[in-house]
Each structure stands twice: as structure tokens, then as C-alpha cells.
Amino acid sequence: MKFFYEFLSDGQTKSEALRNAKIRFIDEIDPNPYYWAAFTLSGNSNPIQFVNDSNIYIYLFGLIILLLLRYLYIKKNYLVRHNDFRSRL
């Protein structure tokens, strides 16, 4: 199955990926049909479009901004309380 997903990620159709995975398995691992013959394709064989356009950097940037704002808010409240205590003495 590892080979199948490698070929799918290369943009091959599902039927091509399965065929190439079986051939590679036979060549590199074990030619015994017991290990590869059960894998069959059913359904459409269109290629899968993998999206690598991840928004993780946007989420990380937003998280950093939120943490920075929380830190500043806590620091401001601490300073306000600390200064009020000094003025009462």
C-alpha cells in the first residue's frame, strides 16, 4: 500500500498507481500473489488532487499575535495593580 500512495501522490490515476504498486511490490519485495493479488480497484479511477497549500503559517502567526496580546494584557494589569498598591502606602 505504501507504493500505491507514493504513485498517487505523483499524480497517477488510481488504476495506474495500483498497477505500478503491484509491479514494484513484485520486483522489490515478494512475487507471491498471496501478498498483492487481493488489492483491487473499485469505483472511479480519477487521479486524486493533493493540496499542499497549507495555511499553517497563517495560523501560527495568529497564535503568536494572540499570545503576545495576552502577555501584554497580563503585564499591564499587573503593573496597574502594583502601582495602586504603592500609592496606598
Report the predicted TM-score, pTM, of the whole model to 2 decimal places: 0.54
Query: Do both 33 and 7 map to the same domain?
Result: yes
Query: Do both 60 and 89 map to the same domain?
Result: yes
Per-residue pLDDT at 88: 56
Per-residue pLDDT at 58: 86
Per the rule left: phi > 0, alpha: psi between -120 and 50, beta: everything else, 51 is: beta
What is the C-alpha to C-alpha distance for residues 54 and 45, in angstroms, rounded to an integer?
Answer: 26
Under 8 Å CB-to-CB from 12, ≥6 apart: which residues?
Answer: 20, 47
Q: What is the extent of the structural domain holding 37?
A: 1-53
Give the three cell numbers for residue 86: 504603592
Full pLDDT tens readout for the chain, 89 residues: 889 989 988 889 999 999 999 999 999 998 999 988 888 888 887 878 777 667 788 889 999 999 999 999 998 888 777 776 555 55
Query: Do both 37 and 63 map to the same domain?
Result: no
Query: Do both 59 and 49 map to the same domain?
Result: no
Per-residue pLDDT at 81: 77
Beta-strand (E) ranges in the chain?
A: none
Of 21, 22, 42, the C-alpha closest to 32 is 22
